[in-house]
Amino acid sequence: MDLFSSLGLPFVAIDPAVDERPPRPLSPLQLARWAAATKAEAVSRRHPEATVVAADTTVALDGRAFGKPTGPAEAAETLRALRGRTHRVYTAVAVINGPARRRASGYSRSQVTMRKFSMQELEAYARSAEVRDKAGAYAIQGDGGRLVARVDGPVDTVIGLPLHLVRRLLREVLA
């Protein structure tokens, strides 16, 4: 929400209350795009007078999508897979201008290289509250940033809201 506030636009955060499991297997990028669109549609149906911005982030390694972990064990498994390796982060954004019935969507991609953190660091971080609701089981803007060696691409994509993309999509639907 801090990122969205930086745009200087009034907003209200609304839980889309959707099942984020896709109806069929999807690639990591397709999954992020599907989830962002699904969230935007759900909120737009409940608030047809609003302009809705929805985003979803997926971490991808070797063609596998790593979403939000269900608990510390899954977080640890994800972090073990990412440890010392470079993965892609996709954040898809869907925007719907309800009154004008205009839609736009897109995605941003970054590459993140994790350092070879110790198993002790991994276990401690996997038990932290920070891994909840985070694709790839880490929050780069928090303590998870210490696990990262390098980011190639926009950091806000990894955080989960690529502002350059949000600005462009808002211009498209509000024009």
**What are the tokens at 43?**
């909120």
* Alpha helix segments (H runs only) across 11-57: 28-46
Known active-site residue 56: yes
153 half-sphere exposure, CB direction, 13 A CA radius:
22
Catalytic residue among 2, 19, 56, 152: 56
Q: What is the CA radius of gyration of the chain?
A: 16
What is the distance between the alpha carbons of residues 92 and 124, in angstroms, rounded to a whole number? Answer: 30
**What are the tokens at 96?**
């719907």
**Residues belonging to the chain:** 175
CA distances from 93 to 36, 79, 96, 123, 148 (A): 6, 25, 10, 32, 24
Question: Catalytic residues, which ones?
Answer: 56
